[in-house]
Amino acid sequence: MTIALYPGSFDPGTNGHIDIAIRAAALFDKLFVAVYDTPSKQLLFNTKERVDLFEKAVAHIPNIKVIPYTGLTVDFARKVGAKVIVRGLRMSSDFEREFEMALMNKKVAPDIEVVCLMANLEFQFLSSSLLKEVGSLGGVISTLVPKHIEEALRKKFSSTRKQ
């Protein structure tokens, strides 16, 4: 059985992230979507919210499990028995960052492979940061995230405007 790990902050998960997860789940026996607990960027959603939102988006895929994690991704991959780390690539700038990360991971964990899936063409431009910016300004995001994530974003944005 081949287990893979798809790590990220997923703040929030977008249709692009979900597309990569679904496609990776078709390639591997089990896929852990690993929501990083303490990224170095400011988050809109806490870890539990990010896990719950992604979990709901992929609930119909039986071989995906969404879990939080901390520490080095390769250490967590070993902990869950993953032999593969899945990454999504959008633009060439993603490639450079992912290439550096893959080489570092290979140095510290030569037993774990990195598999990169190209983002679907309709999501090439999409990032959580850009999504949050558009959503916070009242832009249309309904084609970029599942309905429940759109609702969670709208709720977050309306509560931050009131403060």
Q: How many CB atoms lie within 10 A of CB 3?
A: 17
Tell me if residue 139 falls in helix, strand or coil.
coil
Nearest-10 crossing angle of helices 147-162, 47-57: 150
Residue 35 in contact with residue 10, Cβ under 8 Å?
Answer: yes
Neighbour-count burial of 21, counting CB atoms closer than 10 A to its CB (0-12 exposed, 13-18 middle, 19+ buried): buried
The catalytic residues are 17, 41, 90, 128
